[in-house]
Amino acid sequence: MPKVLIADEVAEDCARILREAGIECDHRGKMKPEDLKLAVAPYEGLIVRSAVKVTKEIVEAGRSLKIVGRAGIGVDNIDQEAATRRGIIVMNAPLGNVTAAAEHALALLLANARNVARADASMRAGRWERSTHTGVQLEGKTLGIVGLGKIGGCMAAYGKAFHMRVVAYDPLLVRERAEVLGVQLLEFDKLLAEADFVTIHVPLNERTKGMFGAGEFARMKKTARLVNTSRGGIVDEKALHEALLSGQIAGAALDVFENEPPPKDLPLLGNEKVTLTPHLAASTQEAQLQVAIDIAHQFVDYFRSGVVRNATNLASIGDPSIALYVRLAEDLGSMAVQLSDGGVRGVEITYMGQIAGFDVDAVTQAAVKGVLHPALGDEVTVVNARLTAKERGVSVAEERRKDARNYKSQMIVRVETDRGGRLVAGTLFEGKEPRITQINTLDIDLRPSKYMLFIQYPDVPGVVGKVGTILGNHGINIARMEVGRTGRGQQAAILLTLDDAATAAALEEIRKSVQPLDIRSVVLS
């Protein structure tokens, strides 16, 4: 009989469902890290919410662990790298709190627009200040949604119910899908300039960290208001405080913070223009119950039949002969979409040579996950990637060929968008060493890395030296470099792997100095 430890404040229905399925379950509530580390060893399953961190030390102490479940969507409190190395599946329950999160974002938007929190505090202090707390209404205003996933889609419906004009920024969403939702897609800068209310619904990752800073606030209306119920770190808290003090924007509402709980001396805590709540977006009775039920049923499916739903890592892949191709496929998909512009219409994966004879379903799923993950984060997994693509109107196709040109096996990921698309190819040298072999028509040979920089430019002397000098001046070290060209004096490209992500300042200096045809910073998860 499998044993599961529930080590956080999870609804009792979770334990009930597990026990009714014949699974032994200990529900201990929120556990301290040191207690969890000592207790976890005999359990095959572990369930937490957001308060308990499953660190590398806890993963290593769980010598019997097969699966770790998060009753909710975000898995940033679980060391997935450590779990994957141990062969432990990490799964989440991403749908149970969608309504709660969207409703809380709307509640904060309304509260800030009508100065509800300030008026409440004033009343409790014995004052009657009607004119001081005059607010603004939603009808006729423009709601700008950053990230049109499931929660963002709910916000779009709410905005329309209030007779608002709804616009959105989502680099992976095709216009046809946005039209179904009744939403106008805009470029990010245009959304900032037009929106009266901006609400954030994107995951926290390398590309979204600090997404809203001083520059973004400067492009917003002075009457605009910002709402963030997504993740702390997406909004630069210092820049937000200064923008509110200077009148650059009119108001903000935050449910999430860079550090939780935030330090008592955080300037935003004393700023009357911001409405604050302590990470309550998923905290409804219904949502807490639903995520508990969802994760319990997922555990039952796993222990009864080996079925894995909503896995967020790659540990469920059982065939070692294709495990490395799975990692490569995700990297190729992520690269292809980050090198593209426009909403994604389709993904095509071509398998050439020996790999064409494998069962490549997991590889295809990983490629699609790589394409969608920069925009959706933990909402998309290796298990639900195809379904998520279908829901967003993205087609997925496979092709198999016997010939792999100069390789035993090669894989090509093509991303088609409403502005064209990109092709990225790769292989495994000696069956284990990942290599990028092609970007569009350019043949290259470079091992993928977390931080990369792709520059396409007219084939003229001196470009490589200028790029290296600029990056060095900005303290960015080049690990490896590959240069390719279509022909002498035609188009050339540099693909670099870096020790750190290229900064916006470095990219801008390269643009001015080199005047490239295209320049892209690529960040792999």
Q: What are phi and psi of 273, to 5 degrees?
A: -85, -5
Q: Which three-class secondary structure state does DSSP give residue 259?
A: coil
Q: What are phi and psi of 353, to 5 degrees?
A: 80, -145
Q: Cα–Cα distance between 8 and 15 in angstroms, integer?
A: 12
Of 187, 180, 185, nearest in space to 393 by CA = 180
- Tell me if residue 279 is catalytic: yes
Residues 118, 279, 327, 520: which is the catalytic one? 279
Distance spanning both ends of the chain, measured CA to CA: 36
Residues 49, 177, 231, 422: which is the catalytic one? 231
Q: Cα–Cα distance between 63 and 98 in angstroms, integer?
A: 34
Residues 81, 260, 391, 433: which is the catalytic one? 260
- Tell me if residue 260 is catalytic: yes
On whether the CB atoms of residues 519 and 453 are closer than 8 A, the answer is: yes
Which strands, in side-by-side order, build the sheet including 395-401? 395-401, 344-353, 409-417, 420-429, 433-439, 442-446
- Tell me if residue 520 is catalytic: no
Q: Cα–Cα distance between 428 and 259 in angstroms, integer?
A: 40
Which ranges constitute the DSSP H helices of 49-115?
A: 56-61, 80-85, 98-113
- DSSP 8-class letter at 222: T
What is the identity of the amino acid at 187?
A: E
On whether the CB atoms of residues 318 and 38 are closer than 8 A, the answer is: no
Q: Which residues are catalytic?
A: 231, 260, 279
